[in-house]
Amino acid sequence: MALEHAILVSLSERPGTGYEIGQQFSRSIGYFWSATHQQIYRTLKKLHSDGLVSFESVAQDGRPDKKVYTLSQAGRDMLAEWVNSPTPLPPLRSDLGVKLRAADLGDLPTVMAELRAHRDEAAAMLEVYRGWVEQYYPDPDALSGRKLNQYLVLRGGVRMSEQTVDWCDEVLDRFQRELERSAAVAAPQH
């Protein structure tokens, strides 16, 4: 139930509405989590009924009231306990990996085109993350505390994207050689 924790972490930094938490999740790698707004509203409701957060309704003109949530002491205690607890290795799961294994059931040029698109998406994310590092953490050695933590999480995202791009490139290289090999067999030049 890391969504609960991700929301609590967000609120531990500043109080906010469900909408704002959703924005943060989708806009930054910083929370290393993603969720739809429905999931967030539902979870906030549960966190409230569990006494981990409280909220204050704020009236607005022309817009629905917003509920500004704040972490309670119980929520803070719970978070601290969770932070000190072990994090098991997540089970391995990758759509791309599953698909790759069966790649020869498809059409190689098509598979390669889709792989290239996947690679490019990952490369675009990587550029975004690198831009954030430059913009928000220009002097990483000087960081400490919360800011350091946020930087290190971002570093994890950079590493992951790099890994994805490199893996796709490795696969594409090998598939390219396969293509050339089969072309050579189909139309030998000597």
Partner DNA sequence: GGTTTCATGTAACTAGTTACATGATTTA
Partner DNA sequence: TAAATCATGTAACTAGTTACATGAAACC
Where on the chain is the footprint of DNA (CB under 7 A)? 1-4, 17-20, 23, 34-39, 41-42, 44-45, 60-67, 91, 93
Min dist. Cβ of residue 96 to DNA (A): 14
Q: Under rule CB under 8 A, which residues in 6-65 are in contact with a second copy?
A: 6, 8-9, 12, 29-34
Task: State the helix-helix crossing angle for 145-186 and 108-136, rounded to 10 degrees.
Answer: 160
For 5, how many CA atoms within 13 A lie in the half-sphere containing its CB? Answer: 14
Residue the block writes with tokens 């020869």 = 104
Which CB sits closer to DNA, 128 or 172?
Answer: 128
Which CB sits closer to DNA, 28 or 108?
Answer: 28
Which CB sits closer to DNA, 19 or 136?
Answer: 19
Task: Tell how strand 63-71 and strand 53-60 pair up.
Answer: antiparallel
Beta bridge partners of 63: 60
Q: Under rule CB under 8 A, which residues in 134-153 are in contact with a second copy?
A: 144-146, 148-150, 152-153
